[in-house]
Structure 1
Amino acid sequence: MNTLHRSTLLAVAGTALALSLTACQSDSGSTSSSRPATSATVASSPAAGATTAAKDTVASERPGPAASARSAGAKGSTGASSTGATGSTGGRGTASTPLCTARDVRVTAATQDGPPYTHIVLTARNTSGHSCRLTGFPHIQFLESHKQDVPAVAKSKPVTPVVLTAGAPAYALVKLSDGGADEDNEPVSAFSVQVEGDSTVIAVTAPGSGGIAVDPAKALTGYWTPELRNGADDF
């Protein structure tokens, strides 16, 4: 009787222990299956996804070699076009510049600054407000008794045409005499000047309070030049 009762108690205790172990194993399995894997958490992280998308966006917006080449080509075309436009504009040739007339210039006379004192300098200043060409030499007549123009000195002719912008001057050196005491000098207080291509007479006042002494047989004039030149204007 005691043996049977002990056997029964042992069987019940064994069954309870087995049930307890089974329940523990079930709890442990549920805990493991409900925890997500570390790698899965990183892959599905919103921050990681945004970073990847941002990199893809930057890569798609960055121009490739073909786009860079097109951009360089466009800049080169613009530069070439600008250069061509500038070159085609060019400057107006002197042939299209009108001749200076008596109405375009103001002619004055002054004694030459320094020896020889037998010369005066004519200045023709452009007062027209526009550019004009002053060609040739001044056509001068000093005396009513001598209607011939004063001869011009060929070596004083400038190589290029004289183009006067608004307000610019041109000069001509004029020889009055040789300065000898036995010359046939005549006093002149005013004389006439004409510019090339215009028959209008310009009255010019002679410099000095007593006027100038002119020997018509010795008088010479130089060509109009932008400035007086040593050598070419020495006569």
Structure 2
Amino acid sequence: MKNIAIIPARGGSKRLPKKNIKLLDGVPLIVFSILFAKANSNIIDEIYVSTDDEDIRNIALKYGVKVIERPKNISGDLEPTVSALKHVLQSIDLVVENVILLQATNPIRPENLLKDTFEIYQKQNCDSLFTVSRNHKKFGKIIDQKFIPYNYKIGQRSQDIEPLYFENGLLYITKASLILSDIIISEDAFPFEIDHIFANVDIDTQEDFDYAKYLYHTHIKP
């Protein structure tokens, strides 16, 4: 039974063209996820890039990972990520137990993230795990032109409010059998909390990329 990493990377982004191979410090974004996977070869048996783009394909092959050609019918803007993962599983001749999903648009992860999450994943006998981070903002709804606080009371200090968490996209681990049933995060998935400077980064626009570049040169590689 194998553990594989899958990096889905379409070529057809509209808001930020070719975003998966934009250069961050001279390195294509997707390469950060490839190198992270390769650095965890004690856990990951094979690395696959799923793409419909020739440039992405060539970069992946240059870095020595396997490429699965993604069909056009599952390469559209509205197609869920699980479609690409499922297609990879159906295209390879391996008995896969666990899939580690690494998104190219979340390029920077803590060095020990997979080690720490995989230990919990196995110890808790999870069928899926995903990373989350705490959001310290005060949320509310606007109803009938009135602001209704959601997670706090007016005047309450932000450090005293009940915490809310968001799915940060840094890492997912899921049983292959779940993905074949079109599920990445199960109802009882383990939420692994992480506080990391790049947890707020999901590159989809030029502004996102510029922010990621700023954080990278400020906190990762000054």
Question: Do these two structures clear the TM 0.5 threshold for a shared fold by scoring above it?
Answer: no
Structure with more of its chain in strand, by fraction: 2
Higher-Rg structure is: 1
Give the alignment's TM-score, normalised by structure 1: 0.19
TM-score of the aligned structures, taking structure 2 as reference length: 0.20
